[in-house]
Amino acid sequence: MEIILKKTIDTLGLEGEIVNVKPGYARNYLIPKQFADMVTKANLARLEKEQQAIAKRLEEEKNGANALAAQLEDKVVTIARKVGEEERLFGSVNTADIAEQLAELGVKIDRRSILLSEPIKNIGETKVAVKVGYQMTTELTVQVVPETADEEE
């Protein structure tokens, strides 16, 4: 079934694109949630009229994603944690910890945008992928260091 996307969906495509999906996915999820419209003559005519506005929104989204990627490019997030034997952490470092640390550095990112396959459980540097928007990702360095006695107080 062909549909017109009203919003950008990472797994399907960009706003304004005509994509082919299974009928149940379109009828039961995309259309009721206002993410897509059926391909009809009226909807195609409306899409033609809105092409410039859609292109402008996508360009703004792309510029915002590039700005965020540039902001994150040289950032190193340092997180201090208690350490046990063999330099293993008590607990782990997860996406919420990384997002909180980025917020302290002045960069607001939703924790769901941080692509961490599993929590970090060792000391050292780890490269973490971050979705910045417009189907773009960038890498961020997360450095986990042992907590000192001064930080515990």
Residue indicated by tokens 């293993």: 88
* Inter-CA distances, 29 with 25, 26, 116, Å: 5, 6, 27
Q: Please state the CATH superfamily assignment of the domain spanning residues 2-64 in this structure.
A: Ribosomal protein L9, N-terminal domain (3.40.5.10)
Q: Please state the CATH superfamily assignment of the domain spanning residues 71-152 in this structure.
A: Ribosomal protein L9, C-terminal domain (3.10.430.100)
Confirm if 13 and 5 have CB atoms less than 8 A apart: yes
Write down the domain spans for the chain. 2-64, 71-152
Mean pLDDT across the chain: 88
Query: E strands, the chain, where?
Result: 2-5, 18-20, 36-38, 76-81, 88-93, 114-115, 120-122, 124-133, 136-146
Question: pLDDT by residue (tens digit) across 19-38?
Answer: 999 999 999 999 999 999 99
Question: pLDDT by residue (tens digit) across 39-63?
Answer: 999 999 999 999 999 999 889 988 9
What percentage of the chain has pLDDT greater than the value 70?
97
C-alpha torsion sign, points 107, 68, 145, 95: positive
Look at the pTM and tell me if it is higher than 0.75: no
Look at residue 16 and tell me whether its pLDDT is greater than 50.
yes
Confirm if 81 and 144 have CB atoms less than 8 A apart: yes
